[in-house]
Amino acid sequence: MPNWKIGVITASDTIAKGEREDDRVQILRELAREWLQADVAVYRIVPDDMEELKEQMIELVDRDKCDLLIVTGGTSLSPRDVTPEVTSWVIDRVVPGLAEEMRRAALQQSRRAMLTRAVAGTRGNSLIINLPGSPRGVEICFTAIADMIPDALNILQGTGDANENWGSPSGSQA
């Protein structure tokens, strides 16, 4: 399996100010090892500020060459929650199925999951995924899509087949 470079940005005013500890990054470190056999190589904490978040996202993808960038926090409805907007500015292409699957899985745990505005997309050969700010939300949403991340990265980087057989159409014989 390729040795992917994983970056994590925590978007949180309170964590950036040191008023609260980041209780999600350790969960992401463990999930990345378990599902991707990779370590988090780059980790940043930024306030919920559009310009700073945008700058950090671009830096981790374009300059630090992260294959996968996970941004946690800032996906709810608070006026300071700006992660989806910034992600939409930064990505080249949206990958709606990943966000849809995260919401579907989270809705099985909490009806509040329908209020998340997480976005997933690509920038060049990198995959960018928004996750909620709660530790449980991080675990649920990452696990919901974890098996597809290697496929997405392999396809993006030209090492996987984008036209894999999806099986026989419903009702027909193979």
> Which of 159, 169, 98 minimizes the C-alpha distance to 127?
98
**Integer Cα distance of 129 and 121 in angstroms:** 7
User: What is the model's pLDDT at position 7?
Assistant: 98
Q: How far is CA 70 from the centre of its chain?
A: 4
**Integer Cα distance of 50 and 21 in angstroms:** 21
H helix runs in 17-148, sequence order: 25-36, 50-58, 83-90, 96-107, 135-145
**Integer Cα distance of 133 and 146 in angstroms:** 18
**Integer Cα distance of 110 and 137 in angstroms:** 10
Those residues with Cβ within 8 angstroms of residue 149's Cβ, 6 or more apart along the chain or in another chain = 35, 36, 68, 127
CATH superfamily of 6-156: MoaB/Mog-like domain (3.40.980.10)
Q: What is the mean pLDDT of residues 80-107?
A: 97
107: Cα within 13 Å, side-chain hemisphere: 9
User: What is the model's pLDDT at position 174?
Assistant: 44
**Integer Cα distance of 36 and 2 in angstroms:** 9
pLDDT at residue 172 is higher than 60: no
Q: Can you give the residue ranges of every domain in the chain?
A: 6-156
**Integer Cα distance of 156 and 136 in angstroms:** 29
pLDDT at residue 108 is higher than 80: yes
| 36, 149 contact by CB (below 8 A) | yes
What are the tens digits of pLDDT across the range 114-134? 999 999 999 999 999 999 999
83: Cα within 13 Å, side-chain hemisphere: 31
- The pTM for the full model equals 0.91
